[in-house]
Amino acid sequence: MTDDAKELFLADRVRAFATVILTRRDDLTIAETKQSTGLDLHVYIVREDKPMRLAFGVLLRGVSSSMTADNANKVLGPTMGQFQGMRKFTYPVCLFFFSMRDERAYFSWLAEPVLTEGAPKLMHHAKATCVELTDVLLGQIVERIVGWYDAVEAVLIA
């Protein structure tokens, strides 16, 4: 197998793994992104009680070898630098990093939704801070994004 074929195979596996993780939740739908965004996926949080479209972006990366969270943070240095060179996003964006040898998934914020005294902000990160991506963590990520959008809505519709 050529190096290009290996890279394509790895990219397909990473996308499939991300899809499996995200579609475990009934309230998430996945959409392909436009090449110009620089992201791999847009994920929409389905909430019938909200008139706003709740979305977050996902950047996918992966390696075929085993990897710890600390090693992932080091490996992702160039990716974080590339992200800093992109336009600033106006919605939450996270990074999913996959170690395919041991089928581990890691998560780090790129554009983190934060509330500062109730005001919604997005903190753009320059360094990865990977933690293992579990179903529980994904639930916390979704709730944090929903809370951030609730604060955005409160600011827009005052």
Per residue in 104-143, pLDDT tens? 999 999 999 999 988 999 999 999 999 999 999 999 999 9
- How many angstroms separate the Cα of 94 from the Cα of each of 2, 110, 145? 30, 5, 11
N-terminal to C-terminal alpha carbon distance within the chain: 58
Structure tokens at 103: 């089928």
Residue range 36-55: average pLDDT?
Answer: 86
Note the pLDDT of residue 158.
66
Note the pLDDT of residue 53.
80
Note the pLDDT of residue 24.
94
Query: What's the mean per-residue pLDDT of the chain?
Result: 89
CA distance 110 to 124: 6
Note the pLDDT of residue 92.
97
Selected residue with higher pLDDT from 124 and 48: 124
